[in-house]
Structure 1
Amino acid sequence: MASERGTLHATDDGRVAIRFVRLFAHPPEKVWRALTDPAQLAAWFPAIVDLSTPAGKELFFGVTERQRATYGMADDPERTPNGRMLRNEPPHLLEYEWMGEILSWELTGTADGCRLVFTNVLSDREVAGPAAAGWEAGLEVVSAQLDGVPVTWDPFVRAEELAREY
């Protein structure tokens, strides 16, 4: 499976940002659904969350069944918010904070479909490699979903393979 590496950049405030750029032969509206629809998110996103929330509202990122089974993780029974929607401008800009990280998804229509720029701003540079590997594996699933290709690989295993390369 081919991969498209994310790039690492320092931010002005001393943090680091992982950035991915993808071109899809699909309109922004279809890509937006792949990034926000709970059924599609379940195949690749590392949490359960309602991303239809308006800007300024708190978010709760829950633990997935895979995380429970594989890592023994558990949800906060109080469902204390652990994020906030910063911008939600369908189908072009989605930006939210999750446990101190900022995730930004920018979609721009092109003549052939859509350009996605995804940026994850992290406070801890040490987690940049594993985080980039996870996002790259997730974006591979998004691409397959958009193209109607069955996902025959395990995104968790794929992220572990990619982590060695980062």
Structure 2
Amino acid sequence: MDSRHGTVFATGDGRTAIRFERLLPHPPEQVWEAITDPARLSAWFPAVVDLDRPVGTELFFAVTEEQQRRFGMVDDPERTPNGRLLRSERPTVLEYEWAGEVLTWEISPTPTGSRLVFTNVLSDPEAAGPAAAGWEAGLEVVEAQLDGTPVTWDPFTRAEELAAAYE
């Protein structure tokens, strides 16, 4: 599998996880902004959420406008929290729980920028392929944003293209 693709693996406790690693020519603070700024997240992240909260805060991951349009998904009208901020150590570690899954973003400085390691511990092992394709498509948008490259593709369509690599 291409190194751009995520690695699907079993965790020590028997769950399934996906891991991506990217070497980025940008400092950790810029990478942090790319994965936390709501305006940037709206271009690639599969939910609307405010991650600028104290650790331990319950979070509500809302359905995006694109998910509503494409798939007819609707939000919980009660906006019942469906996640929690577990760690937030700017600009090196961001970790949160979302609908039974744990997402961890680790950013470390390198001589030429940053190393980003993203791990998603899944609640449903059958979702590994589609989730990995979606995260890879999202990471492509993150990289384009960091590089100042216009995003001229749709991440949902790109995820569909990438899905075969994870079958």
Verify same fold: TM over 0.5.
yes
Aligned-residue sequence identity (percent) comes to 71
Give runs of ≥4 in structure 1 deviating > 3 Å: none
Match of residue 137 from structure 1: 137
Match of residue 146 from structure 2: 146
Match of residue 53 from structure 1: 53
Q: Does 1:105 align with 2:101?
A: no
Structure 1: which 5+ residue stretches go unaligned?
none
TM-score, normalization: structure 1? Answer: 0.97
CA shift for structure 1 position 123: 2.5
SS of residue paired to 1:162: helix
CA shift for structure 1 position 93: 0.2
Structure 2: which 5+ residue stretches go unaligned?
none
| Matched AA of 1:112 | T
Provide the C-alpha distance between the structure 2 equivalents of 1:52 and 1:109, rounded to a whole number of angstroms: 22
TM-score, normalization: structure 2? Answer: 0.97
Provide the C-alpha distance between the structure 2 equivalents of 1:60 and 1:94, rounded to a whole number of angstroms: 16
Q: Could you report, residue by residue, the CA deviation over 1:11-57 in whole angstroms, capped at 9, with x for unpaired residues? A: 11110110000010000000000000000000000000001111111
Match of residue 161 from structure 1: 161
Aligned 1:31-110 pairs, distance under 5 A: 31-110=31-110
* Number of residue pairs aligned between Structure 1 and Structure 2: 165
Task: Compute the RMSD of aligned alpha carbons.
Answer: 1.0
SS of residue paired to 2:137: helix
SS of residue paired to 1:13: coil
Provide the C-alpha distance between the structure 2 equivalents of 1:38 and 1:25, rounded to a whole number of angstroms: 22
